[in-house]
Amino acid sequence: MNMLESGLYELASLFLGPVLILILLCVLYAFTSLGSFAVEWQQRRTQKKPSALHQRHATQGGTSDDLELWIMRRLEWLRIVSRTAPMLGLIATMIPMGPALLALGRGDAAGVGENLVTAFSAVILALIAASITFFILTVRRRWLLQELRDLEAQGALSIQEA
């Protein structure tokens, strides 16, 4: 049984590096998205240019369903990051907990601290990324659905043949 347990631990440990890289990518994506969101918010406030949905409709036309699909595609990565980043943070917290508990059992406070720094730093960054992307997702969804509703009310959308 001991071999099985150590094998599972070794297998789980292999995922720490990739998970930490994914968390860093989530953080970078979140802050990049925050920057583009701030630009879009400023443009909406000053109404300097038409929104992406209006531009899409003006260039490609389509039905309400086509635009809803485009909205879903546009928001897809925000949704994925906002939902997976906390899970990645949990994984990055749990993997170092095993060595931290072993170090605690040996009375090695430094070993406990080293492992917990990684664990808690990863989960904090993952939660920050998830919070930012969830906020952007929520506001952008409202903006786009309101624009879609406005286009529908204007009768600007073509009617799909049954």
What are the pLDDT digits (tens) for 120-161? 999 999 999 999 999 999 999 999 999 888 888 887 665 554
Q: Measured in Å, how far apart are the chain's first and last C-alpha atoms?
A: 63
Q: pLDDT at position 61, please?
A: 76
Calculated CA dihedral for residues 135, 140, 142, 148, nearest 10 degrees: -170
Q: Of the given ranges (21-30, 62-71, 77-86, 140-149), which has the lowest mean pLDDT? A: 62-71
Q: How many Cβ atoms from other residues are within 10 Å of residue 34's Cβ?
A: 14
- Which pTM was predicted? 0.85
Task: Tell me which residue has tokens 């990324």.
Answer: 129
Kindly list the domain boundaries of the chain, sorted by start residue: 16-154
